[in-house]
C-alpha cells in the first residue's frame, strides 16, 4: 500500500518537494551555478588574439560580432560591410575581408581607434564605450555631429543619455538599439567569462 502511495505521489510530481526545499530559486542563484562557460564561437581564439593585439576587451569584440554577423564570416550588408565584424576598408579587397583573421584585425583596430578618438570627449570610460559603439555602427562623422548638436542645444555632449535626447539631429533608433544591445551582450559575456585574459 505504501509503495502504491509513493507511485501516486511521483506521478503527481509531489516527490520533488523535499529535493528543492533547501535550494534557492534559480533566479536568485549566481549564473555560474547553472551555466557552464563554453566557447562562444569557432573563432574564439582568433577573437582573443586580435583583441589583445589591438588592446580591446575580447568579450566586447565578441558582443559586437554577435550583433554584426552572428559569427557568420560570409555575412555582408547592403552598404558593403563584410565578414564577422562587418567592416569596410579601402586598404583591402572585399574578398580579403572574408578571411577571419584579416576581418578581426581591421575591426578591432577600428574599434580601438574609436575609443581613443572619443575618450577626451566622453565623461568617463563607459560613456566613451557608448560613443565608440555608436560610431562603429553609424560612423564617426555622425557621432561627432551628434556631440556638436547636443552642445549647441545646451545638452551635455559628454554623456550618451543627453545625446540621445536629440530629435532630430541625434542618433537613429537603430543606433540606440545597437549600443544597448551590444552592451547587454558584453555584460552577458563578462559574467560568463570574468577574466579578460586570453588564456
At residue 30 the predicted structure's pLDDT band, cuts being 50, 70 and 90, is very low
Number of domains the chain contains: 1
Is 28 inside a domain boundary?
A: no
So which residues are the catalytic ones? Answer: 68
Domain holding 182: CATH number?
Answer: 1.10.530.10
Is 174 inside a domain boundary?
A: yes
Is 96 inside a domain boundary?
A: yes
What pLDDT is stored for residue 37 in this prediction?
55
User: Could you tell me if 89 and 161 are in contact, meaning their C-beta atoms sit under 8 angstroms apart?
Assistant: no
- Confidence check: pLDDT of 28 > 50: no
**pLDDT tens, position by position, 157-176:** 999 999 999 877 789 999 99
Is 167 inside a domain boundary?
A: yes
Is 38 inside a domain boundary?
A: no
At residue 94 the predicted structure's pLDDT band, cuts being 50, 70 and 90, is confident
Q: Write the burial class of residue 97 (CB in 10 Å: 0-12 exposed, 13-18 middle, 19+ buried).
A: buried
What pLDDT is stored for residue 39 in this prediction?
86
Other beta carbons within 10 angstroms of residue 113's beta carbon come to 15
What pLDDT is stored for residue 175 in this prediction?
95
What pLDDT is stored for residue 197 in this prediction?
59
At residue 29 the predicted structure's pLDDT band, cuts being 50, 70 and 90, is very low
**pLDDT tens, position by position, 106-145:** 999 999 999 999 999 999 999 999 999 999 999 999 999 9
Is 163 inside a domain boundary?
A: yes
Is 14 inside a domain boundary?
A: no
Sign of the four-CA dihedral 134, 139, 140, 141: negative
Other beta carbons within 10 angstroms of residue 169's beta carbon come to 13
Is 66 inside a domain boundary?
A: yes
At residue 18 the predicted structure's pLDDT band, cuts being 50, 70 and 90, is very low
Q: Please tell me whether the overall predicted TM-score, pTM, comes out greater than 0.75 for this model.
A: yes
Determine the structural domain holding residue 187 and report its residue range. 44-191
Amino acid at each position: 500500500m505504501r509503495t502504491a502511495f509513493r507511485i501516486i505521489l511521483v506521478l503527481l510530481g509531489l516527490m520533488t518537494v523535499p529535493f528543492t526545499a533547501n535550494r534557492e530559486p534559480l533566479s536568485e542563484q549566481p549564473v555560474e551555478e547553472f551555466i557552464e562557460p563554453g566557447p562562444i564561437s569557432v573563432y574564439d581564439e582568433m577573437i582573443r588574439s586580435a583583441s589583445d593585439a589591438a588592446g580591446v576587451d575580447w568579450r566586447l569584440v565578441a558582443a559586437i560580432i554577435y550583433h554584426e554577423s552572428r559569427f557568420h564570416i560570409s555575412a555582408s550588408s547592403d552598404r558593403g560591410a563584410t565578414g564577422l565584424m562587418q567592416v569596410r576598408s579601402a586598404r583591402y579587397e572585399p574578398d580579403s575581408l572574408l578571411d577571419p583573421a584579416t576581418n578581426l584585425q581591421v575591426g578591432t583596430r577600428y574599434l580601438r581607434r574609436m575609443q581613443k578618438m572619443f575618450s577626451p570627449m566622453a565623461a568617463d570610460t563607459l560613456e566613451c564605450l557608448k560613443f565608440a559603439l555608436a560610431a562603429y555602427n553609424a560612423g564617426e562623422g555622425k557621432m561627432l555631429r551628434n556631440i556638436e548638436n547636443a552642445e549647441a542645444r545646451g545638452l551635455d555632449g559628454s554623456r550618451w543619455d543627453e545625446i540621445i535626447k536629440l530629435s532630430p539631429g541625434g542618433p537613429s533608433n537603430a543606433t540606440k538599439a545597437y549600443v544597448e544591445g551590444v552592451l547587454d551582450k558584453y555584460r552577458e559575456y563578462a559574467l560568463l567569462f570574468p577574466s579578460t585574459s586570453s588564456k
